[in-house]
Structure 1
Amino acid sequence: MSDKLKVESATMPAGGWGSVKEVTNILLHEHVPLKDSRLLMKQNKPDGFACVSCAWAKPANPHPFEFCESGAKATAWETTSKAIGASFFDRHTVTELESWSDHELENQGRLTEPLRWDAASDKYRPVAWDTAFAEIGAALRACDREQVVFYASGRASLETSYMYQLMARMYGNNNLPDSSNMCHESTSVGLKKTIGVAVGTVGLNDFEHTDCIFFFGQNVGVNSPRMLHQLQEARKRGVQIITFNPLRERGLVSFTNPQSPIEMLTGQETPISTQYHQLKPGGDTAVLMGLCKAVLARDDEARAGGAQRVLDMPFLQEHTHGFEAFEASVRACSWPAIEAESGLTRSAIEGAADVYCKSAAVMAVYGMGLTQHRQGVQNVTMLVNFLLVRGNIGKPGAGVCPVRGHSNVQGQRTVGITEKPELAPLDQLKAQYGFEPPRKTGMNTVEACEAILAGKVPAFIALGGNFVRAVPDTVRMEAAWRRLPLTVQISTKLNRNHVIHGQASYILPCLGRIEIDRQRGTPQSVSIEDSTSCMHGSRGMAEPAAATLLSEPAIVAGLAKATLAPNPNVDWDAWVADYSRVRDAIETTFPSIFRDFNERMWTPGGFRKPLGAAERVWDTPSKRAEFTVPAMLQADADADSPDPAALRLFTVRSDGQFNTTIYSNEDRFRGVSGSRMVLFMSPVDMARLQLADGDLVDLATAVSDDAPRHVRGLRVVAYDVPEGCAAGYYPECNPLIPIWHHALESKVPAAKSIDVLVRRTASS
């Protein structure tokens, strides 16, 4: 075992004293003063600021501490007193910084002044804002406008996102890939074609009316811990929670509420999952087919006995289309095939189905464990099939609940960040701003990567994020990235996308959402959309990290003015001076969603955009909810290797990270600390491959047909992983995922299932 890596048994619940300790540690580590640590009391409050971490819902009547451990880490990370400027870059070449870890780079603190890479010294040097804008604008004007990429990470506000998409379209393309392309685009495609809306139908109030919750591929304890409050309250009412996930994640096993003095003093835990089924990664379609098969069998028994039908026949007849074809496919699917692909027994699946059949209002919660597969869209549509058979969409306590990651990733899509021209109000933009918007479909994330690899992208502008670290095929992408003529990063902290850069590279440091954004002396507010489609206002509360920072709207406006021809219908300066004017413009573009935007944005709990499916109004060609027939049970058939020694790898996040942001090398829920270069394996597979705890191994993608792909120097850790499978951390395992290994229809990178070969490292 390496000197740094430590592994111990992890049995603590989510929350509890472990969470309190982590919050304290991050505040101390980031040198957050007491006055700024009090910011946490304003987090996710109607009169405060929206968390910059996950997108979980903000309640109208919040808890006294309406923040979780992950949210506190995000706030401390942004309001840190550590900062870096010109002197830091004087001391370090960019080549040197390439050897630093993700944690070491971001841990340096806030970026404070605009920077331009100097090739002669291999260092970032300060550059004046006006100079940076002028140089970037001149470069963009000289580019092939159909090939420039405008990426958005999901962090920016509704106001900034609206301005950004308008700038891209006025520039001349729809190349607006975003982080949704990497996670929930399978949701957007699957839900849109089955129920007519691209987002979930569940609201916070539904948790008060449900009597059963099914979880698929979502780690609530790490990715959206505030949801544990709703889950705990539901469990105390006797609600059944049935989980299907390859790993037993602590947040779905038990929870101690840090806001309950009794629970904290006594160590009392609330068991979360009443059934926990560790399916194979990629086995979700098979499980859902099995659940539906069991429901049909129970319905057959009820009909034969003259009892009440299990299927909701009035709902099926009035509100759905295609049930007969789906029913036939389920009946034709064999239990042995379901068991083989899911990794679960028939009796286990039937046991879960029995609870479903007895429940009046069921919701299904899921994450990227469903979406990041070759058949990720099919996984989503199968989940819809499962809910539809008993009428569990469009009634209180029931519905589909995809859990989004970045705090405004759903909202930026609402205001036009999309590569799909049919999803943007182009005719309205034309009328409103007097220009001809491009009608050609733009690049999504995978297509942008393909174009970069082919040398076709002249410039890449990034509104936040760490794109080169987040995408698959890391080694090939980094090599291609260095050949980009221009890269521009709008950022708060240093990350790998700054040290792996284009031939001309700029870092434009921005204010964070938690900071007071004063324009002409007047504090501004912004807005975001949460996972449940509710819009919220957000007020900055902390003093800016530096007076040299510009806001995201100001940076977008600066780029737009330097790049685009003047347009009398767009007053960028007026928008920057008063963000309410941007919201007025958003309301004009999207009147049905943002009516009275400036007044309603401070509604406690937010105001919700119209969701027809939640009211059983289906915006589909048939005007009904659509059943779909799955093409296959295998979620990742083309990634399966014929080599019997291959393991099915899936990627996971740790307790010490949020997406590509690594707060620490700690993963207390899995008992791992000191290193992220870890491969979790079943003891059975370890014995079969003659490996022991702590052995050093290399991984190679088993299905690479265009280039070899490796990750070297991982330590084996025995863990409760389904046999034949293994787990490793994201983004460390990204080099193993080929660009072509993405979801059909949605092109989401299929990081949750790829066959790999394990070889003992030669030096171990």
Structure 2
Amino acid sequence: MSEPKIEAYDGPAGGWGSARSLAEILTREEIPVTGAAMLMKQNKPGGFMCVSCAWSKPAKPLAFEYCENGAKATAWEQTRKRTTPAFFAEHTVTELRGWSDYALEEQGRLTHPMRYDPVSDRYETVSWADAFAEIGRELRALDPKSVVCYASGRASLETSYMYALFARMYGNNNLPDSSNMCHEPTSVGLKASIGQAVGTTRLEDFETADLFLFFGQNVGSNAPRMLHPLQEARRRGAAIVTFNPLRERGLERFTDPQSPVEMLTRSSTRISTQYHQVKAGGDLAAITGLCKALLAADRAAEAAGRARVLDHAFLEEHTHGLDAFGAFCDAQGWPAIARRSGLTRADLEAAAAAYAKARSTIGIYGMGLTQHRKGTETVQMLVNLMLLRGNVGRPGAGICPVRGHSNVQGQRTVGISEKPELVPLDRIAAQYGFAPPRDQGLNTVEACEGIRDGTVRAFIGLGGNFVRAIPDTGPMEAAWRRQRLTVQVSTKLNRSHLVHGEVSYILPCLGRIEVDEQAGGPQAVSMEDSTSCFHGSKGVTKPVSEHVRSEPWIVAELAKAVLPPNPKVDWDAWAGDYAKVRDAIEATYPDLFKDFNARMFDPGGLRKPLKARERKWETETGKANFVVPAGLDADPDMPAAGPDVLDLMTLRSNDQFNTTVYGYHDRFRGVKGTRSILFMNAADMERLHLADGEHVDVATVASDEVVRVVKGLRIVRYDIPVGNCAGYYPELNVLIPLWHHDEQAKTPAAKAIPVRIVKGSQGAAA
């Protein structure tokens, strides 16, 4: 980490800044030549799917079908650095707990299975056979309902299917995953509104849309490959209207690194045609304002004898609840809408006019909508807006939630879910000859509650860094150590290995980019992108160590160690030939995976059927439903705003993906050498008598008497709405109360945390 430096960045997304950042990480991870060659196979037919985000993979890929962050993810995984048994012999776990997230992962790839030794306070090498023997004994001795089987969003469809089957044959539906932390309001909200739990758009819709509405999604850092279709859309005259608290560079300007002309001339494309800096949590009010303006414009058009603004034919045939929704919008006054959204009536009417003018519109959103107490209602408000003009179920239009991890949507498709009603349990029972549990499993928040109160005794982590990703870091880490067993299937060392149970194992796995050689020969795996297309992926590099194993093999060995033999499940055959797993997936989900093995490498992917795209609504009413929210506030139970209370939102830097920190350079926000930052509006700084560069402590304002504080954050004056402030995830998770979550989906409300600032600290951030 270099000396902290705060300096405004004036460049576009992409461009030379992206090229320099890529060159830097390839050099740092000691793969400047092999890494560059590897990237040419990323997101390509016959190559490997990106291990970073889940954005769509085109049928005709670009020459360089990867973005800056996707390249960083590849370099980070394929580093030449290794975390060997010698490293663990040199460092106690207590010492390593004091290291930063970056320093831990920067040690490189894990090479051997390890078991924690409480006497030496070190991880020591263990054989795979001994590891599974003890894990099996521990799990068989526990009540299955007390065991959590967590899955990160990177696990392949094959691994996820096997893992979900293992959990249910073991006896629980405790299958939380990273969806619980980000897009669960999408799954809950869309299911009730349009009858399917995923978006309705395909990549080709971007080619014909006239308007893109962005809400709470930072495309420049979280799905940069989307900038290519957005740039093409702007060139053909499409409009992009953005609602986001911060002015994110990827939604302002973009220079295509693959264009020699743009790179040489340093020219760029303006992305957003309107940019509205909505307050954090103000999207619900802002969308209400858009709908209110549209309803008024439609009535005015009718009175004047002009063409109507709303799609009344669609509304009559395909929707339910319009009258109640219209009454709600009419009842909301413009002053209240403006106060909660932070936008003027003129702002919202201008955005509504652009929407009314467009023939086909795509509504794009991220966690800025979902991570609130009323996140599910906010997602449903966006659906309401799209329904008003019939922008669901036709070309060039639809709802587009941008998923994070590369297979976070896919693992839900094949059974990773704590909700038994979303899984074809009758078919699974017949297929494998056992009685699957039918009770609700634990989601992420409930798993944390169980760990805290002692009812959860064991945690198996299939990837990810759960301890670092969850809220209430202080109380949760203390409770975590009381578990009997923790098992982490991982590629790199992270904090979840160091905050462990009484018995603890690290099981190192192959990365997706590595050749996976099994009894049946080199294996391929598959995943689902954000547009509901399934893609095959083949590893291209040599494994990091002869001692690492594939995720499907690890799950199979786990199942064999814990479960009694079942003649209908040949775990060894599945581990030796993943095509057999795909056959099983197709048997369980015949409508979704028809001819799976034959079509998994189809250009553009095997398409999952989307009923709402065909205007077939699998809802209780048989139609798309207008859902009326309770009010304008996405976080109505926050403490009453006082002069010294701000709403904190957590965010990611340009140099990270989820909990993985690639470096300390948030280029777009002009921050280098530190993550101990609090972004603030100049007016709030003046009102609270704070100076740019001053160090402060930040404490959560809550009534539960738990002390939640982060010390030593450096204030950075920034263009952020008055009353809001922002800092980095996951370091500021300590400030999020576990109970502060979406009311329906239980996703942590990380975008609206009431905090108070205390002057004078020079300590380091948590």
Question: Could you tell me how far apart the structure 2 residues matched to 1:339 and 1:569 are?
Answer: 61
Instruction: Note the C-alpha offset of 1:144.
Output: 1.1
Question: Could you tell me how far apart the structure 2 residues matched to 1:269 and 1:704 are?
Answer: 49
Corresponding residue number in structure 1 for 2:236: 237
Instruction: Note the C-alpha offset of 1:658.
Output: 0.1
Which amino acid counterpart does residue 740 of structure 2 have in structure 1? H
Corresponding residue number in structure 2 for 1:407: 406
Corresponding residue number in structure 1 for 2:532: 533
Corresponding residue number in structure 2 for 1:708: 707
Q: Determine if the alignment matches structure 1 residue 261 to structure 2 residue 266.
A: no
Question: Could you tell me how far apart the structure 2 residues matched to 1:37 and 1:599 are?
Answer: 31
Map 1:594-743; keep pairs closer than 5 Å: 594-743=593-742
Alpha-carbon displacement from aligned partner over 1:484-514 (angstroms, at most 9, x marks no partner): 1110000000000011111111000000000
Instruction: Note the C-alpha offset of 1:90.
Output: 0.7
SS in 1 for 2:669: coil
Q: Determine if the alignment matches structure 1 residue 454 to structure 2 residue 453.
A: yes
Instruction: Note the C-alpha offset of 1:36.
Output: 4.0
Q: In 2, are the aligned partners of 1:516 and 1:541 still within 8 Å (CA)?
A: yes
Question: Could you tell me how far apart the structure 2 residues matched to 1:444 and 1:524 are?
Answer: 32
SS in 2 for 1:462: strand
Q: In 1, are the aligned partners of 2:517 and 2:523 still within 8 Å (CA)?
A: yes
Corresponding residue number in structure 2 for 1:439: 438
Corresponding residue number in structure 2 for 1:109: 108
Question: Could you tell me how far apart the structure 2 residues matched to 1:571 and 1:254 are?
Answer: 53
Instruction: Note the C-alpha offset of 1:640.
Output: 3.3
Corresponding residue number in structure 2 for 1:209: 208
Instruction: Note the C-alpha offset of 1:693.
Output: 1.1
Q: In 1, are the aligned partners of 2:278 and 2:721 still within 8 Å (CA)?
A: yes
Instruction: Note the C-alpha offset of 1:67.
Output: 0.3
Instruction: Note the C-alpha offset of 1:600.
Output: 0.7
Question: Could you tell me how far apart the structure 2 residues matched to 1:490 and 1:58 are?
Answer: 27
Question: Could you tell me how far apart the structure 2 residues matched to 1:21 and 1:763 are?
Answer: 33
Which amino acid counterpart does residue 213 of structure 2 have in structure 1? F
Which amino acid counterpart does residue 726 of structure 1 have in structure 2? C
Question: Could you tell me how far apart the structure 2 residues matched to 1:449 and 1:405 are?
Answer: 22
Q: Determine if the alignment matches structure 1 residue 300 to structure 2 residue 305.
A: no
Corresponding residue number in structure 1 for 2:64: 65
Instruction: Note the C-alpha offset of 1:33.
Output: 5.3
Q: In 2, are the aligned partners of 1:173 and 1:438 still within 8 Å (CA)?
A: yes
Question: Could you tell me how far apart the structure 2 residues matched to 1:695 and 1:688 are?
Answer: 15
Q: In 1, are the aligned partners of 2:2 and 2:672 still within 8 Å (CA)?
A: no
Question: Could you tell me how far apart the structure 2 residues matched to 1:95 and 1:85 are?
Answer: 18
Question: Could you tell me how far apart the structure 2 residues matched to 1:336 and 1:558 are?
Answer: 61
Map 1:6-25; keep pairs closer than 5 Å: 6-25=5-24
Corresponding residue number in structure 2 for 1:574: 573
Q: Determine if the alignment matches structure 1 residue 558 to structure 2 residue 522.
A: no
Instruction: Note the C-alpha offset of 1:706.
Output: 4.1
SS in 2 for 1:276: strand
Which amino acid counterpart does residue 352 of structure 1 have in structure 2? A
Corresponding residue number in structure 2 for 1:200: 199
Corresponding residue number in structure 1 for 2:48: 49
SS in 2 for 1:365: strand
Which amino acid counterpart does residue 296 of structure 1 have in structure 2? L
Map 1:350-429; keep pairs closer than 5 Å: 350-429=349-428
Unaligned 5+ segments in structure 1 are none
Which amino acid counterpart does residue 555 of structure 1 have in structure 2? I
SS in 1 for 2:213: strand
Which amino acid counterpart does residue 315 of structure 1 have in structure 2? F
Corresponding residue number in structure 2 for 1:122: 121
SS in 2 for 1:61: coil
Map 1:152-231; keep pairs closer than 5 Å: 152-231=151-230
Question: Could you tell me how far apart the structure 1 residues matched to 2:762 and 2:412 are?
Answer: 48
Q: In 2, are the aligned partners of 1:680 and 1:718 still within 8 Å (CA)?
A: yes
Instruction: Note the C-alpha offset of 1:306.
Output: 0.4
Question: Could you tell me how far apart the structure 2 residues matched to 1:761 and 1:143 are?
Answer: 49
Which amino acid counterpart does residue 601 of structure 1 have in structure 2? M
Question: Could you tell me how far apart the structure 2 residues matched to 1:33 and 1:102 are?
Answer: 24
TM-score, normalised via structure 1 length: 0.99
Which amino acid counterpart does residue 755 of structure 1 have in structure 2? P
Corresponding residue number in structure 1 for 2:504: 505
Q: In 2, are the aligned partners of 1:61 and 1:605 still within 8 Å (CA)?
A: yes
Corresponding residue number in structure 1 for 2:488: 489
Question: Could you tell me how far apart the structure 1 residues matched to 2:730 and 2:130 are?
Answer: 35
Question: Could you tell me how far apart the structure 2 residues matched to 1:762 and 1:402 are?
Answer: 40
Q: CA RMSD in A?
A: 1.0
Which amino acid counterpart does residue 81 of structure 1 have in structure 2? R
Instruction: Note the C-alpha offset of 1:129.
Output: 0.1
Question: Could you tell me how far apart the structure 2 residues matched to 1:464 and 1:415 are?
Answer: 17
Alpha-carbon displacement from aligned partner over 1:380-428 (angstroms, at most 9, x marks no partner): 0000000000100001110000000000000000000000000011111
Which amino acid counterpart does residue 590 of structure 2 have in structure 1? P
Instruction: Note the C-alpha offset of 1:379.
Output: 0.4
Alpha-carbon displacement from aligned partner over 1:413-453 (angstroms, at most 9, x marks no partner): 00000000000111111100000000010000000000001
SS in 2 for 1:327: helix
Question: Could you tell me how far apart the structure 2 residues matched to 1:762 and 1:466 are?
Answer: 29
Which amino acid counterpart does residue 606 of structure 2 have in structure 1? F
Alpha-carbon displacement from aligned partner over 1:447-474 (angstroms, at most 9, x marks no partner): 0000001011111000000001000000
Instruction: Note the C-alpha offset of 1:641.
Output: 3.6
Corresponding residue number in structure 2 for 1:519: 518
Question: Could you tell me how far apart the structure 2 residues matched to 1:275 and 1:74 are?
Answer: 32
Instruction: Note the C-alpha offset of 1:727.
Output: 0.4
Instruction: Note the C-alpha offset of 1:638.
Output: 1.2
Q: In 1, are the aligned partners of 2:528 and 2:534 still within 8 Å (CA)?
A: yes
Alpha-carbon displacement from aligned partner over 1:673-711 (angstroms, at most 9, x marks no partner): 100010000111111111111111001101242411111
Question: Could you tell me how far apart the structure 2 residues matched to 1:541 and 1:671 are?
Answer: 36
Q: In 1, are the aligned partners of 2:256 and 2:263 still within 8 Å (CA)?
A: yes
Corresponding residue number in structure 1 for 2:138: 139
Instruction: Note the C-alpha offset of 1:644.
Output: 2.0
Question: Could you tell me how far apart the structure 2 residues matched to 1:527 and 1:371 are?
Answer: 27
Map 1:303-382; keep pairs closer than 5 Å: 303-382=302-381
Q: In 1, are the aligned partners of 2:520 and 2:576 still within 8 Å (CA)?
A: no
Alpha-carbon displacement from aligned partner over 1:139-179 (angstroms, at most 9, x marks no partner): 00000111100000111000000000000000000000000
Question: Could you tell me how far apart the structure 2 residues matched to 1:37 and 1:238 are?
Answer: 35
Corresponding residue number in structure 2 for 1:471: 470
Which amino acid counterpart does residue 251 of structure 2 have in structure 1? L
Q: In 2, are the aligned partners of 1:712 and 1:761 still within 8 Å (CA)?
A: no
Instruction: Note the C-alpha offset of 1:84.
Output: 1.4
Question: Could you tell me how far apart the structure 2 residues matched to 1:263 and 1:730 are?
Answer: 33
SS in 2 for 1:282: coil
Question: Could you tell me how far apart the structure 1 residues matched to 2:40 and 2:293 are?
Answer: 47
Question: Could you tell me how far apart the structure 2 residues matched to 1:124 and 1:638 are?
Answer: 44
Question: Could you tell me how far apart the structure 1 residues matched to 2:95 and 2:621 are?
Answer: 59
Which amino acid counterpart does residue 472 of structure 1 have in structure 2? P
Q: In 2, are the aligned partners of 1:252 and 1:273 still within 8 Å (CA)?
A: yes
Which amino acid counterpart does residue 244 of structure 2 have in structure 1? N
Instruction: Note the C-alpha offset of 1:521.
Output: 6.7
Question: Could you tell me how far apart the structure 2 residues matched to 1:562 and 1:134 are?
Answer: 6
Question: Could you tell me how far apart the structure 1 residues matched to 2:224 and 2:34 are?
Answer: 25
Q: In 1, are the aligned partners of 2:48 and 2:512 still within 8 Å (CA)?
A: yes
Q: In 2, are the aligned partners of 1:46 and 1:605 still within 8 Å (CA)?
A: no
Deviates more, 1:584-593 or 1:686-695: 686-695
SS in 2 for 1:655: coil
Q: In 2, are the aligned partners of 1:639 and 1:741 still within 8 Å (CA)?
A: no
Q: In 1, are the aligned partners of 2:26 and 2:35 still within 8 Å (CA)?
A: no
Question: Could you tell me how far apart the structure 2 residues matched to 1:79 and 1:101 are?
Answer: 21
Instruction: Note the C-alpha offset of 1:643.
Output: 2.7
Q: In 1, are the aligned partners of 2:157 and 2:525 still within 8 Å (CA)?
A: yes
Instruction: Note the C-alpha offset of 1:3.
Output: 7.9
Runs of at least 4 residues of structure 1 off by over 3 A? none
SS in 1 for 2:224: coil
TM-score, normalised via structure 2 length: 0.99
Alpha-carbon displacement from aligned partner over 1:289-324 (angstroms, at most 9, x marks no partner): 000011011111101110111110000000000001
Unaligned 5+ segments in structure 2 are none
SS in 1 for 2:145: coil
